[in-house]
Chains A and B, each alone.
Chain A
Amino acid sequence: MTTAVHLAGVSVAYGLAGGGRYEAVQPVDLSVRDGEFVALLGPTGCGKSTLLNIAAGLMPPSGGRCEIFGQKLSGLNAKAGYLFQQDALMPWKTAQDNVSIGLEVKGVSRAEALARSKAMLAKVGLGAFGDRYPHQLSGGQKKRVALAQVLIREPKILLMDEPFGPLDAQTRLIMSELLLDLWQQDRKAVMFVTHDLDEAIALSDRVMVMSAGPQSRFIGEFIVNLPRPRDIAEVRSEPAFHKLHAEIWSCLREEVRKTYGLAGKGAA
C-alpha cells in the first residue's frame, strides 16, 4: 500500500504581533495510505485545519516536511481536492459552471466539461439544479455542488475541513451517506477534519485525536474496524461503535475541557 500523504515532523508556529512565538502544533507525524479514510478529531482550535492546509499546500509548515505520494510538496498540492467548511463556490457562476471550471482550467473543452459537470451534479443528486446560482441553493445543496466541484477533478487525495459543520443535523447525515457512497465507488485517501465524534467513527478507517492547543499533538490513534460498506444510520447502533465511542471520548474529554479552562477539575 502506498502512502498518499506523509507529514514528517511537521510543526506550526506563528510570530505574534508583540514579537513572541506561538507554537500551534508540535512536531507531528502522520501517514495516510492510499484509499484510507482518516479522521482528524480534536477540540476547537487545536490545529486540525492547519495540518489540512499544510497537506493542501495552502501554507508551508514551520518545520518538518509534507510528502505527497513520496514526493516533497512545494506549492499547491495538485493531487488533492479540498472541501472547505465555508461556502467557497464562485457566486457568479451557476452550479454547473462552478463544477465544470475545474476541468476547463485543465484544458478540457467547454462542451465536454459541461457535459461531465452535469453528469457529476446528477451523481450528487442535483441533476435538475445545474443552472441555479449558489444563492438560489440551500446550504446542503451548495455542499453537494462543492463536493461535485472537487470530485470532478478526480483527485487522488480528498482533504475535508469540517465540510458538513455548518449544516443541520439531518442534512449532515444525508451528506455523510452521500460522501461514503461516492467514496465506496472510488476509494481515495481522505483526511477528514471534524470535532464530531460520531461523524469521525461512522465515516473513517482510523481516528486520530489531537490535543488542545497550543502545542497540539496526536494523543490517540483508534482503528475503526466496522465493516464496509457502512450504513451511517445503522452503524451507530452497533456495540463496536459504542465501545469505540467510549474509548475515544475518554481520550478526548480532557482535551475538550482544557479548551474551556476546566482542566483537572471535577464536575464543572
Chain B
Amino acid sequence: MPISRLKLLFLQVFVAIGAIVFWHIVTNYPVISDVKTMKFFFSTPIDVFTRVVRMFADGSVYRHLWITLVETILAFVIGASLGIIIGFWFARKPLVAAVFDPYVKMMNALPRVVLAPIFALWFGLGIWSKVWLGVTLVFFIVFFNVYQGVREVPQVVLANARMLGMNERQLLRHVYWPAALAWVFSSLHTSVGFAVVGAVVGEYLGSAAGLGYLIHQAEGVFDVTGVFAGMVILMMFVMLIDAVVTVIEKPLLVWKPGETRTV
C-alpha cells in the first residue's frame, strides 16, 4: 500500500520532534546525569538553535559556507572531468586498463584522510588542498561509472549504430558518451556527497575557513554548542546541494525508464 505524502511528512517531522524533545529533556532535567555535565557534553537544542540563528544573523557563517561551496564545486568539476576522460580512455583501450588496473585498485583502497596532511604540504592551507582531497574521492566514483558505462553499451546497439553509418567519432558522441553520462548521473548524488566530504575533512585537518574549520575551532575550545551548530549548518548545506542535484539531473535522465536515483 503506498503511503500518502502527507502522512509520510507527518511521520518524518514526528521523528525529528521526538529526537529534539528527547535531547532537550536529557540535557535540561537530571534524568541520566546531572544537568551541568550533560550540557557540557551535549549542549541543548535551544542553545544550538540560538547559535545557528546568531551565526546567520551576524553574517559570520556566510564566508565559511562560501569557501566550502567553492571547494565542493571545484572538487566535483575537476574530479568528474578527470574521471570521465580517464574512464573513457581506459574503456576504449583495454591494454591501458589492464596495465593500470592494480594501481587504480591500490589508489582507491587508500583511505583519503591520510592524504590530507601531504596535500596541505603540497598545495598549502588554502582551498586547493581541500579541492584535491575531494578530487581523489570524486574521481574514482565517476571513473568506475564511466568505465562500466562505456563497456556495457549493449553490443546490438553498437552494431546497429555502426550499420547506420557511424564512424568512431560519431559512435563516441552518439553512443558511448550518452551511455557513460547516464552512469555518471546515476552516481551524481554519491559523487557530490563525496566532494563535500573531501572539502570538510580537508578543512577540519588544517585551514583558516570553511565549515570544517568552524567545527574544528569550536572543538578546540570545548565549545560543544559550536560543534553542534556547525554540524547542523553542514547538514543543511548537504541537503541543499542534494536538492539542487535532484533538480539538475531530472531533465537529463528523462530517457531512462523508472527510478534512476542511487544514493
Cβ contact within 8 Å between A78 and B165: yes
Q: How far is the CA of A106 from the CA of B167 in the complex (A)?
A: 10
Whether a CB of chain B sits under 8 angstroms from the CB of A135 is: yes
How extensive is the interface on chain B, given as a class? 20 to 34
Cβ contact within 8 Å between B178 and A76: no
Binds A, one of B10-18, B91-99, B253-261: B253-261
Q: Residue on B with the closest CB to A76?
A: B162
How extensive is the interface on chain A, given as a class? 20 to 34
- Chain B, residues 155-196, CB within 8 Å of chain A (1/0): the string is 011011111111100100011001100100000000000000
For the complex of A and B, 4 pairs with smallest distance between CB atoms: A88-B160, A135-B257, A92-B178, A133-B255
Q: How far is the CA of A82 from the CA of B160 in the complex (A)?
A: 7
Cβ contact within 8 Å between A101 and B164: yes
Q: Chain A nearest CB: distance from B124 CB in Å?
A: 42
- Chain A, residues 4-19, CB within 8 Å of chain B (1/0): the string is 0000000000000000
Cβ contact within 8 Å between B256 and A91: yes
List chain B residues, Cβ under 8 A from A88. Answer: 154, 156-157, 159-160
- Chain A, residues 50-90, CB within 8 Å of chain B (1/0): the string is 00000010100000000000000000101011101011111
B residues with a Cβ closer than 8 A to A are 154, 156-157, 159-167, 170, 174-175, 178-179, 182, 254-257
Cβ contact within 8 Å between A90 and B161: yes
Known: A90-B157, A91-B256, A135-B256. A80 touches B178 (CB 8 A): no
Q: How far is the CA of A134 from the CA of B154 in the complex (A)?
A: 15
Q: Residue on A with the closest CB to B257?
A: A135
Cβ contact within 8 Å between A86 and B156: yes
Cβ contact within 8 Å between B182 and A82: no
Known: A101-B174, A105-B165, A153-B165. A133 touches B159 (CB 8 A): no
Which of A80, A133, A135 contacts B163, CB < 8 Å?
A80
Which of B154, B165, B175 contacts A102, CB < 8 Å?
B165
- Chain A, residues 218-240, CB within 8 Å of chain B (1/0): the string is 00000000000000000000000
Q: Chain B nearest CB: distance from A149 CB in Å?
A: 7
Cβ contact within 8 Å between B170 and A90: no
